Structure 1
Amino acid sequence: MIGDLLEVRGVKFASISSGIKQNNALDLSLISFTKGTQTAAVFTQNIFCAAPVIVAKNHLNSNVKALLINSGNANAGTGQKGLEACLKTCEIFAGKLDINSDQILPFSTGVIGQLLPLEPFENNTEKLVDGLSSSNMSDVSKGILTTDLVEKSCSISFVINGNNVTLSGIAKGSGMIRPDMATMLSFIVSDIGASKEELYDCLDIAVNQSFNRITVDGDTSTNDACTLSATDQSSVQLNDCKEEFQNALNEITKILAQMIIKDGEGATKFVEIKVGGLSSVDDCLEVAYTVAHSPLVKTALFASDANWGRILAAVGRSKVDGISIENIDIFLNDLQIISSGEISKDYTEAAGSLEMQKPEITIRISLGAAHTSESVWTTDLSYDYVKINAEYRS
Structure 2
Amino acid sequence: MGMDVNTTTEGVYQSTTTNSSSYMDIDRPSLAAAALYDLKNEQLQLANAALQQQVVTERSQQESSTNGKQQETTVNQSVTTTAGTQQYAEEVTEMGPEIPFEIGQFLLYKGHFLNLLHFPIWKVHTKTLLLKYDTVLADSEIAWEATDEGMFYTNVYEDYVPLKCELKGLHNNQEVVRIVNESHPIKLKIHGHMSSVRIQHDVYAQVLVNHVYDADVLPRIKANTDEYATYIRLIDEMLEQRYNYVIQSRRTIETFPYAVAKYPLLDIIAHPQRNLHCQVTEDKSQPVSHTLRFHGNQYDGDTLKASETPLQILEIFVCENIAVLAQTAHQLKHHVYHMFCHAQQKVAELQALNPTADATELISAICGDTPWLQELFDRFDSIMQQADAYIFSNVEIAW
Q: Same fold (TM over 0.5)?
A: no
Larger helix percent? 2
Larger strand percent? 1
RCO higher in structure (CA 8 A, sep ≥6): 2
* TM-score, normalised via structure 2 length: 0.24
* TM-score, normalised via structure 1 length: 0.24
